[in-house]
Structure 1
Amino acid sequence: MGNQVEKLTHLNYKEVPTTDPTGMDRDEGPRIGVSYIFSNDDDDVEPQHDSVAPDLGGEHPTSQPYDPRLHEVECSIYYRDECIYQKSFSGDAPTSDGVEGGGGGGHLATYTPENLLNRCKPGDVVEFVCQAQYPHWVVYVGDFQVVHLHRLEVVNSFLTDASQGRRGRIANQLYHYKPLSPATVVRNALDQVGCKDRDLSWRNSECFAAWCRYGKREFKIGGELRIGKQPYRLQIQLGEKRSHTLEFQSLEDLIMEKRRNDQIGKVAVLQELSSHLQPAEDADGKDPGAQTSWPPQPPLPPFLQESNG
């Protein structure tokens, strides 16, 4: 375990090296990436159902209207040039069932746990969401039951109990990997029930559920070698045509950061990024509202400037 780190954190995006958001790999000049193992966000340390978020005025988190468009960060994950995950509200139309399908009519719409029971099929993965909490992922195995990583143990629960009152969505379409057969997904999940503590191969519920559905070692702790160039990119949408990109050496590390963004919320993420990006933008004398590629590209070397006249 010599190449693993127990716990590393960062306070803001000033401490996270970045890359070109266009996704174009450039060989000229040095290039800095990032590969952190962030604090564990397993349910054992996630805010529980009865916790009170400080910015909610003392009200229960679930008493607030939940709109994914307001609270969730649009983002994409790339492995080299291949998009392997995407959360985007583009094209989502309002639903016909009003509040029950809050957040748009596409695959990111959320529903009450009771309504989800009518939509789930064995082998589906479900993402429960709530403002100021980490998303909680579960695998639906049939008969109203799910298997999920909860408090450092893989357990079998009723879907309504696992939700802890949060709204949820079927998350099959977020990752673009080819899924295993429903029977295999269910078997993967049930075979892990009772696994806990040091025997666990996952740091959070999302990695566990995704591993059950896709069977890829990338979702496991230490499933990839952390050497060489960072092959994973997390592209965060800042606006309609603006984005910011971070690089990671492993999918597991990237998922930990993506989940942190979900937990702190869209407003806080945009504030972190704006405080980091705005000074560089102003220094270039550009309009803060203009479309800009991040980070700004370095000037051409002198010999190239001369050759270009």
Structure 2
Amino acid sequence: MASTHREPQPGDLIEIFRIGYEHWAIYVGDGYVIHLAPPSEYPGAGSSSIFSILSNTAVVKQERLEDVVGGCRYQVNNLLDHKYVPRSAEVIIHAAKSRIGEEMPYSILRRNCEHFVTDLRYGVPECRQVQNFLVGGTVTLGLALATAFTYSVVTRRRQNQ
């Protein structure tokens, strides 16, 4: 598990660099994070695949940081501290822990893991990955969005038949 910069503190946003996208979690202390991930049977399973973005539901999970990170690089990235005043660590952690086990709708554009953690830290759900895509974006995220859209259309057609 490779980390850049400083060690996380409770309430910090953790950016995990996957192939083609970033997964986000919030550090709650003692080596644990809380994050939004597709339902799965074992720790870290759902968030480690780009196909996790194809799910239309997600579960709030508390897992060990090292399990969620796997072999990927990660960093503390409190990306919106310059724009919003972060909530206190106690408020962030309480809010995050109160959501553990909650199943919720998932949307790569409106309700993804980055929206989830920025809402916990700042009270505002924002996603830089989606904003960057909409403003000019990257090819990789564009392909991921196109794949997710195609998958959802095909799945809905099958369900309607």
Same topology, TM > 0.5:
yes
Deviation at 1:205, TM superposition (A): 0.6
Q: 2:67 aligns with which of 161, 164, 167?
A: 161
Q: 1:259 to 1:153 in 2, by over 3 A?
A: farther
Deviation at 1:264, TM superposition (A): 1.0
What are the equivalent positions in structure 2 for 1:40-189 lying under 5 Å apart? 112-113=2-3, 119-132=7-20, 134-151=21-38, 152-175=58-81, 176-189=83-96
What are the equivalent positions in structure 2 for 1:235-254 lying under 5 Å apart? none
Task: Find the residue that maps to 2:28 and give its secondary structure.
Answer: strand
Amino acid at match of 1:112: A
Deviations 1:8-50 (A, max 9, x none): xxxxxxxxxxxxxxxxxxxxxxxxxxxxxxxxxxxxxxxxxxx
Deviation at 1:255, TM superposition (A): 4.9
Q: 1:159 to 1:258 in 2, by over 3 A?
A: same
Structure 2, gaps ≥5 residues long = 39-57, 144-161
Deviation at 1:256, TM superposition (A): 2.5
Q: 2:123 aligns with which of 215, 219, 222?
A: 215
Amino acid at match of 1:203: R
Give yes or no for contact 1:120–1:170 (8 Å, CA) kept in 2. Answer: yes
Give yes or no for contact 1:135–1:263 (8 Å, CA) kept in 2. Answer: no
Deviations 1:68-125 (A, max 9, x none): xxxxxxxxxxxxxxxxxxxxxxxxxxxxxxxxxxxxxxxxxxx815x77x71111111
TM-score calculated relative to the size of structure 2: 0.62
Kindly report the root-mean-square deviation, in angstroms, between the aligned alpha carbons of the 2 structures.
3.2
Task: Find the residue that maps to 1:179 and give its secondary structure.
Answer: coil
Cα distance in 1 between the residues matched to 2:92 and 2:9: 11
Amino acid at match of 2:10: P
Structure of greater relative contact order (alpha carbons < 8 Å, 6+ residues apart): 2
Does residue 256 of the first structure (1) align with residue 130 of the second (2)?
Answer: yes
Give yes or no for contact 2:60–2:100 (8 Å, CA) kept in 1. Answer: yes
Task: Find the residue that maps to 2:132 and give its secondary structure.
Answer: helix
Name the larger-Rg structure. Answer: 1
Cα distance in 1 between the residues matched to 2:113 and 2:64: 16
Give yes or no for contact 1:131–1:263 (8 Å, CA) kept in 2. Answer: no
Runs of 4+ in 1 over 4 A off after TM superposition: none
Amino acid at match of 1:258: N
Length, aligned pairs only: 119
Cα distance in 2 between the residues matched to 1:157 and 1:183: 19
Deviation at 1:257, TM superposition (A): 4.5
- Percent identical among aligned pairs is 28
Deviations 1:270-290 (A, max 9, x none): xxxxxxxxxxxxxxxxxxxxx
Amino acid at match of 2:76: I
Deviation at 1:131, TM superposition (A): 3.5
1:194 is matched with: 101
Q: 1:214 to 1:257 in 2, by over 3 A?
A: closer
2:149 is matched with: none
Give the helix-richer structure, 1 or 2: 2
Deviation at 1:174, TM superposition (A): 4.2
Give yes or no for contact 1:177–1:214 (8 Å, CA) kept in 2. Answer: yes
TM-score calculated relative to the size of structure 1: 0.34
Task: Find the residue that maps to 1:194 and give its secondary structure.
Answer: coil
What are the equivalent positions in structure 2 for 1:3-42 lying under 5 Å apart? none
Q: 1:112 to 1:259 in 2, by over 3 A?
A: farther
1:64 is matched with: none
Amino acid at match of 1:129: F
Deviations 1:127-148 (A, max 9, x none): 011342x211100000100000
